[in-house]
Amino acid sequence: MNVQPNDQEHLVDFDNSNWEVSPQQVCQLLQSGEDFLLMDCRSHEEWEAGRINGATCLPLQEMSTRLSELEPDRDRAIVIYCRTGRRSAIVAKFLSMTGYPHVRSMAGGIEAWDQLNLEGKS
């Protein structure tokens, strides 16, 4: 199956409850120095407005054309976030379906991070 990240028919019904990590867990991973890729799938404009330190920007809209950039991280843990968690859930399913076994979406996105007043945002 050729899956695209904007293929709403297959991806929006994704049950992300088994694929989510909390913002607190992500903060703990960052503080512990754990080796994982933190990926922001929001737009470049949203990225510039504020992001979690250490994150890489790879917007949902560019995922299918830039997927090869993630190849070196195929077996690495990947945590994806967006504004509220919807786009990151779509990206998590897309990556899982294309052979990335250790992918999680941050529940609630950067809005949840902000509501919890977690450190590490610029």
Domain count, the chain: 1
31-53 per-position pLDDT tens digit: 999 999 999 999 999 999 999 99
* Per-residue model confidence (pLDDT) at position 26: 94
Task: Please check whether residue 57 lies inside any domain of the structure.
Answer: yes
Question: Which helix H or strand E contains 93, and what residues bound it?
Answer: helix 86-97
* Per-residue model confidence (pLDDT) at position 17: 56
For residue 22, count other CB atoms closer than 10 A to its CB: 14
CATH of the domain at 53: 3.40.250.10
pTM of the model: 0.85
Active site residue 82: yes
Question: Tokens 């830039």 appear where?
Answer: 66
103 backbone dihedrals φ, ψ, rounded to 5°? -115, 135
Mean pLDDT, range 103-108, rounded to an integer: 96
Catalytic residue among 27, 41, 57, 82: 82
* Per-residue model confidence (pLDDT) at position 84: 97
Range of the domain at 38: 16-115
* Per-residue model confidence (pLDDT) at position 71: 94
